[in-house]
């Protein structure tokens, strides 16, 4: 009797768990206006050009590091087959102005495009 009851309980539990697998997921009825607005906002943010002026501390194939006046170091990456305009003219230790799109952070990786690197004018005393 106990065995029959256990077999019946296990069968019912198995049937209940398998029936949940056959249910269809809820359909997405979102019209997409909010997501398209967010996409266009992030797209325009990506296209806005920003500048950073500092010292060119390190220069390698595909990346370079610029340290600003406060001592914060920012790493910029680029496609080595498409070197940013002016980077070849700048040497380590030069004061440079980097024009870029996207966002740059001390801790996160660079997620934009380097437009140009120009030697900055030396400060007159």
User: Is residue 66 classed exposed, middle or buried when 0-12, 13-18 and 19+ CB atoms within 10 A define those classes?
Assistant: buried
| pLDDT score for 98 | 94
For residue 56, list its beta bridge partners.
66
Mean pLDDT by 10 residues, the chain (125 residues): 83 73 55 50 65 94 93 93 91 94 89 91 56
Nearest to 98 by CA among 44, 47, 46, 49: 49
Q: How far apart are CA 93 and CA 40, in angstroms?
A: 38
Domains of the chain: 45-119 (2.40.50.200)
| pLDDT score for 6 | 85
| pLDDT score for 91 | 92
**What's the alpha-carbon Rg for the chain, to the nearest Å?**
28
């Amino acid at each position: 009797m106990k065995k029959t009851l256990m077999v019946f309980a296990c069968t019912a539990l198995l049937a209940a768990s398998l029936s949940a697998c056959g249910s269809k997921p809820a359909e997405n009825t979102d019209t997409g206006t909010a997501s398209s607005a967010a996409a266009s906002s992030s797209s325009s943010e990506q296209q806005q050009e920003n500048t950073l002026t500092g010292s060119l501390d390190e220069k390698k194939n595909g990346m370079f590091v610029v340290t600003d006046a406060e001592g914060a170091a920012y790493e910029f990456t680029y496609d080595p087959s498409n070197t940013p305009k002016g980077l070849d003219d700048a040497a380590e230790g030069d004061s440079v102005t980097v024009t870029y799109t996207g966002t740059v952070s001390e801790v996160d990786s660079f997620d934009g495009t380097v437009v140009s690197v120009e030697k900055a004018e030396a400060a007159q005393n």
